[in-house]
Amino acid sequence: MSIVEQSNLQLKKSGETDLTGIVKNLARKAGGGPATVAPGIAKRIVEELNFSGQRKVKKARVAQNLARLTGGTWEPHVSILIFCELPDGSLVLINGQHRCCAIVEFGVPVQTKIDIIPARDNDHVRSLYAKYDGQESVRTQTELVKASGLAEAFEIKTRTAEMLIKAVPIIINGMEPNTRLSGKEHLNQFSFRLESAMPWEREAQEFDEIVATADQHIRRYLLRAGTMAVALYTLRHCRKEALEFWSGVALNDGLRKTDPRARLIADFAVRSLVSGATRQSVQQSALAWNAFFEGRELKIIKCIEGAEIVIAGTPMRKGGAK
């Protein structure tokens, strides 16, 4: 029996005439347990109900799931297809496209759970999709950011949006990049990072425009989480001075040798950030900024391990989270 014939047969058995109806019917009849999904239905789910921001199908992931099917290690209660249901009754697959593709290649009906989660709107769908970013997920930061629509919403480049997601938790954590300590696990959750980034739209837009004026070498250093955290924070609290400081770094045009912006550029080039990389990027940016804000010349940037992070002209002028 062909995949199309299997799909039509399952539609006929379900008494439904549309794909959304059959998926709901399968979930309802399963009563919270595994449902039987035919290859034809799995194929149509990927083609018709897949989340528009989904990552591209990866052959290796499909092969892993197919190996579980052919090897008898497929677990129907663990292998779940997760859909969002919008107010109009439509369904969107937010997790399980690789499992669906494996079912198609397997060629026979497969037992798998179907979960349907209510969603308020498309923004809620994107938020729910982003929650499936645990260690077991192979979604990259770029894929999650693209799916979130953050870059489009803020009208910034995808790379800037990626760094924004990493920089904001550093700010929340008192300019300390170590967010993996006990009690701070939430700082690493993509959904938390995305929500926390929302109030930083203006600063992100201004920094994105500044970075666009830099050459490739300087741009690479500016687009680091630690550097961007300092940039965003200073743009919020000392906008006029920060625009001058960061624009000067980006343009690197005729700066005196002892200008703090020139020293920061030089430090970008010579500092090894192999150990404690992100904290050093916070420190070097903060030290250069402090000298600039206070009108001091700067001959050398000295990052001291464990030293308090101070950012002049801001609530963090005495160090620590404010």
pLDDT tens digits, one per residue of 61-72: 888 889 889 988
Give pLDDT, residue 148: 78
Average of pLDDT values for 218-232? 95
**Contact predicate 286/230, CB 8 Å:** yes
Contact 165, 196 (CB under 8 A): no
Q: What is the reported pLDDT for 136?
A: 42
> Is the pLDDT score of 239 beyond 50?
yes
Among residues 2, 88, 74, 10, the alpha carbon closest in space to that of 45 is found at: 10
Question: What is the average pLDDT across 235-251?
Answer: 97
pLDDT (tens digit per residue) in 78-136 = 788 999 999 999 999 999 999 999 999 999 999 999 999 999 998 888 888 877 644 34
Quick one: average pLDDT of 204-213? 97
Task: Give the C-alpha distances (Å, rounded to integers) separating 298 from 13, 49, 245, 258, 270.
Answer: 77, 58, 14, 5, 16
Dihedral, CA atoms, 148, 152, 157, 163, nearest 10 degrees? -30
Could you report the per-residue pLDDT of 15-57, keeping only the tens digit for each? Answer: 445 899 999 999 999 988 899 999 999 999 999 999 987 778 8
Higher pLDDT, 223 or 272: 223
The predicted pLDDT at position 320 comes to 54
Q: Which of 153, 91, 83 is nearest to 123 (CA)?
A: 153
Query: Nearest 10 degrees: CA dihedral of 232, 176, 315, 259?
Result: -60
Task: Please provide the average confidence, as pLDDT, over all residues in the chain.
Answer: 86
- Locate tokens 């998926």: which residue? 23
Q: Rounded to 5 degrees, what are φ and ψ at 116?
A: -125, 120
Confidence check: pLDDT of 318 > 80: no
- On the question of pLDDT at 4 being above 60, the answer is no
Q: Percent of the chain at pLDDT above 70?
A: 88
Report residue 158 as tokens: 């995808």
Confidence bin at 139 (pLDDT 50/70/90): low
Question: pLDDT, tens digit, for every residue of 161-193?
Answer: 999 999 999 999 999 887 666 677 778 888 788
How high is the pLDDT of residue 150? Answer: 87
Backbone dihedral angles phi then psi of residue 111, each to the nearest 5 degrees: -85, 125
pLDDT at 273 (0 to 100):
53
pLDDT band per the 50, 70, 90 thresholds, residue 270: confident
DSSP string, 159-178: HHHHHHHHHHHHHHTTT---
To the question of pTM greater than 0.75 for the whole model, the response is: no
- Please tell me the distance from the alpha carbon of residue 169 to that of residue 221, in angstroms, as a whole number: 19
- Encoding tokens for residue 238? 């000392």
Higher pLDDT, 278 or 242: 242
